[in-house]
Homo-oligomer: A and B are copies of this chain.
């Protein structure tokens, strides 16, 4: 399948979620019969959606609501919640600042150090309300924050960076996080990411990860592809990594879920990611539009506040309804961003898939979105380029 870019370079064609569509077969079922349950670590959930560990998306209250609704939210231990006791004035400021001052404001806000006692407190606040607590950190802080979070009652721990590898070369005097050792020592399940290839997924699975996050460069609030040239369209990334999960299952008997993270906006996008092989999805911007989201109608990426190379963008996503409406409906919008569970169940019904595993097997066609006028229109509107 190798295509020659030039004499010195070959490449494979990779496909994005927007380039595919799902094909109904000879069977349909009532949406109420579609079972969307999945498991991550020892946690069972009805909705295969995880809210990204982004400061505009998840705070203590959102984590509790997401948990109550059958989904999951991850709190960012490198973010505002653990840097500031009272985050209200900080989030107000981010929402009110002009475009020109945004990058420097973010660099200043994120210069405030993380407080270990706030890590503990946030986890406990979530657990106190009877919810599932999930937290994330970058690899560099994983050992420092991870054990502390686990002791505070955290249920799942995410170690996330733009790109994760099992072989990281650190500067002299520093040591890299040994992922296998870390997973072994941690008393709670550890989720690792992000990666995009079969090979790296297999290596991460061998470290003992409880789930793998898949996706580099496709997200709305992420400009990795522009800044670094790095990224892989999500349909191909998910299909490749799902193949690693399947092979690992055949070899070991352990079924470890993979989670599509980035670039998914509508219910249709979520359905397509699962059809490419994902067990669940991690989404940011669609949930940042909830009235309860801490971002006040704004959304920004995790690499945004980098002091030297900021590469996320603050996107005004607006507020369109409650988190309950976004996840479980009834939909007040007709553009695929409300009632995500209903959309998944209806899509599964339409495609005759009664479980997530059957949904992973549905037929896919390559069908460029650009040539479907409705889609162009819709995308243009979401980007604010239309009328």
Contacts and interface: CB of A to CB of B under 8 A. Distances in A.
Interface string A8-30: 11011111101111111111111
A346 B231 contact: no
Contacts of A174: 30
Given A14-B365, A24-B165, 19 more contacts: A3-B366, A8-B242, A11-B366, A21-B217, A25-B165, A28-B165, A30-B171, A103-B334, A220-B373, A221-B374, A225-B369, A225-B372, A230-B350, A233-B371, A309-B331, A309-B342, A310-B333, A312-B334, A376-B383
A364 interface: yes
B18 A240 contact: no
Interface centre among A7, A235, A370 (most CB of B within 10 A): A7
A82 interface: no
A14 B21 contact: yes
A160 interface: no
Interface stretch (A66-74, A90-98, A198-206): A198-206
A346 B30 contact: no
Query: How many identical subunits does the complex contain?
Result: 4
Secondary structure type dominating chain A contacts: mixed
A274 B13 CA distance: 19
B365 A235 contact: no
A169 interface: yes
Interface stretch (A46-54, A128-136, A262-270): A262-270
Interface in A133-152: none
A81 interface: no
B271 A6 contact: no
- The size class of the interface chain A forms with chain B is 35 or more
A226 B378 contact: yes
Given A9-B277, A16-B371, A169 B30 contact: yes
Given A7-B240, A334-B313, A232 B26 contact: no
A-B CB proximity, top 5 nearest: A6-B239, A7-B243, A229-B271, A229-B268, A29-B169
Given A27-B167, A373-B220, A304 B334 contact: yes
Contacts of A375: 225-226
Contacts of A268: 224-230
A240 B365 CA distance: 13
A382 B373 contact: yes
A329 B14 CA distance: 32
A269 B371 CA distance: 13
A28 B369 CA distance: 34
B226 A374 contact: yes
A351 interface: yes
Interface in A356-387: 363-380, 382-387
Contacts of A250: none
A123 interface: no
B195 A24 contact: yes
A346 to B, nearest CB: 6
Interface string A167-204: 11111001000000000000000000001111110010
A75 interface: no
Interface string A327-358: 00111111110010011001100111010000
B377 A383 contact: yes
